A and B are shown apart, each in its own frame.
Chain A
């Protein structure tokens, strides 16, 4: 597949006002608003364009599987530090479009923090190059970062450049028996200290804490923190990243992003805590008061995402927390500036566009 194929497809959709549903591997079809429009399969537009280990970046076509990228990085001892989920065969374009980060986000940063550049095809079929391959670049608005989490509503990610980092020399996982409140208190206490904590996961009275960094730092932290050494730690963190851990197996799953110090939201079924307390997962029920869940999250200074739910429920309630009127108006104007006819993933982020 060539870039021209994609451009031609989008131009013709633009000309005929045909909505397009952009699809990489389809690994996140469960996520976001309704899936509408003709499928534009970008998975065949794949391949690593450039990888410069000493310049700390990789450029790949949007349809490139994350697994292929990670394999290339691993050969040089590097990684995608935001540890994005694969959910099967996720592509790098889908990874940036959805903006979902994994366990290491609490230490290393989110997907958006690693986006250096993007080649975008907008809703009129125009190819736009934003950002670049250097670490620092403040020329022009930072459109490539804006694309992280935009759910494909601003354009097709034909190519992305991500900053990469060396893999930590040493990694160890400790396990503690703690209830929710004690775990939150400890996580915040540790967060304020210069400790090499790279991931945390609490479920059902047990807290897993991953230490990553220089060997000496990891050993010193382990001596300081105590706890038991986890067995099969690598598998454990993959199960957290991929949400194959039993904590996530529930038909309705809420994701609450909160300040790490927020007290327990008082919702019934807390399934897991990640990111040093800043990410809390709850099992929901069909027919419950969604406004109440969103309200609690907002009062605590964060927001709630209806992360996994039957499509009917997601369409009814919306996946993401509603925007205030001025912000919604701004979103609409931005959407229009990239996709004047609203043909790209309509309704995937918000029903209004």
Chain B
């Protein structure tokens, strides 16, 4: 799947010997059969076997591994739970995987300051579980929250279904402790509202393991709302559902969650979770209100009014916590549910201005015909983040290639519509070509200079997130046929 990187050539035996000197035997894997589980992350279509996997247990060992790799010129790919969907943690064939899985302790939960200090290998949901006795929780809730780790969340700037109101990882992390490729430790941010100098926290969060390795994270905890209720509305037209989303926001409401599913998605989910979705609807919207009981009642009334005026054909409000969770269960189970009806699926992550939603969905319908593949759509409608799930069968020759081309076309249309190729999954290896579509040469060069300011040798996660200009030139040649520009009918901005 991937092209060999001629830039690095590692002496495997020498590397193993050096790592063996700094790590105890149970912290180092070098045999192929032990390395196999690390060959990919959540994006299973891309695989690569590393030369070694390091599983350090303390920061001193992390420093030693990074120093050693720096001295030997060996690429390092940091890894959390490996649930990422863009291949950001896919190993380098000439490199080391640095797993932070054993950094799994919650060091402090402070009720008064509403903060928690955790190691990067702690699972996202475990933070909220630890904070729950204090009536607090950690807001970002990616759908993989049972398994994904805080370190990975920091690397990807993960979102979730509640980020319209509560923000992304970048809005909820206060401080990180970082080890550079040279093995130097520095702290960025603090438990205070800001820190001196540049806002490096903003730069590090979402940097996909390219700038440093995180060994500790301080997160903000927020009070758990007293009550949450969900309105479920069905529409016989996708465009109407899209307009309803805009109408809710125009009415001055920022719901705690605002999600959409199209008919193929509800059809996949309903037999699996029995959420009670309207299977005849072209699209359903889930809109959550949270806060005090008074606040929720007021918001639910206003949302219901807006949805009715927007032409919803049926509206239901969750009457109990059990029912609320059931409404959400379908949305949260959308990926595995689609996984049940197709041998493989490919999840995309473009963001678009909400008002372009209907346009995007009808384009996807056309692409289904063009590529001969089906696609179900789930959508973080509140923040314009679309997750088309392209269904394919990897066992059938050519299907993966068609799915990949289908996905690339969606991403490039996202850019053309004024959006982005990735809202929360990251670029990784998957969308590296589409970076050449979203950014021009000067920005890509600026990214490379930033990378060099942190990692001059380019050893941290090489080949990911920021494409080389050479790669973009190749991709451009491949994609412009006979001088045709894609989507010539669209305004460019």
Contact = CB atoms under 8 A, between A and B. Distances in A.
A138 B424 contact: yes
B295 A216 contact: yes
Interface string A41-80: 0000000000011111000000000000000000001100
B27 to A, nearest CB: 26
B353 A188 contact: no
Contacts of B384: 55, 134-136
B292 A194 contact: yes
Contacts of A112: 199, 202
- Of the listed residues B253, B420, B434, the one surrounded by the most CB atoms of chain A closer than 10 A to its CB is B420
B353 A55 contact: yes
Nearest to A50: B493
A278 B298 CA distance: 31
Given A128-B442, A194-B226, A220-B294, A137 B112 contact: no
Contacts of A320: 196-197
Contact of B420 (A136, A188, A196, A215): A136
Contacts of A195: 223
Contacts of B380: 136
B312 interface: no
B148 interface: no
A166 B299 CA distance: 14
Contacts of A302: 190-192
B442 A261 contact: no
A149 B199 contact: yes
Interface in B185-229: 185-186, 188, 190-200, 202-203, 205-207, 211, 223-226
A347 to B, nearest CB: 14
Contact of B291 (A130, A136, A213): A213
A146 B450 CA distance: 11
Interface stretch (B157-165, B264-272, B318-326, B476-484): B157-165
Given A113-B167, A139-B431, A133 B418 contact: yes
A108 B171 CA distance: 10
- Of the listed residues A105, A279, A302, the one surrounded by the most CB atoms of chain B closer than 10 A to its CB is A302
Contacts of A109: 167, 171
Given A132-B418, A217-B295, A331 B198 contact: yes
Nearest to A301: B191
A275 B207 CA distance: 29
A217 B443 contact: no
B246 interface: yes
Contact of A54 (B184, B249, B442): B249
Contacts of A349: 197
B292 A330 contact: no
Interface residues on A, range: 35 or more
B291 A166 contact: no
A330 B186 contact: yes
Contacts of A324: 186
A327 interface: yes
B447 A136 contact: no
Contacts of A138: 156-157, 206, 420, 422-427
B133 to A, nearest CB: 12
B170 A145 contact: yes
B242 to A, nearest CB: 11
Contact of B114 (A128, A143, A191): A191
A233 interface: no
A321 B424 contact: no
A326 interface: yes
Contacts of B185: 326
Interface stretch (A10-18, A19-27, A282-290, A332-340): A332-340
Contacts of B206: 138, 141-142
Interface in A303-322: 303, 305, 320-322
13 contacts: A56-B249, A137-B423, A138-B426, A141-B211, A141-B447, A142-B157, A146-B198, A166-B249, A188-B112, A192-B223, A214-B291, A216-B297, A217-B295
Given A77-B252, A195-B223, 18 more contacts: A54-B250, A109-B167, A130-B446, A135-B423, A138-B156, A139-B420, A140-B466, A142-B205, A142-B206, A145-B199, A146-B199, A146-B200, A150-B198, A166-B252, A193-B223, A220-B294, A259-B191, A275-B193
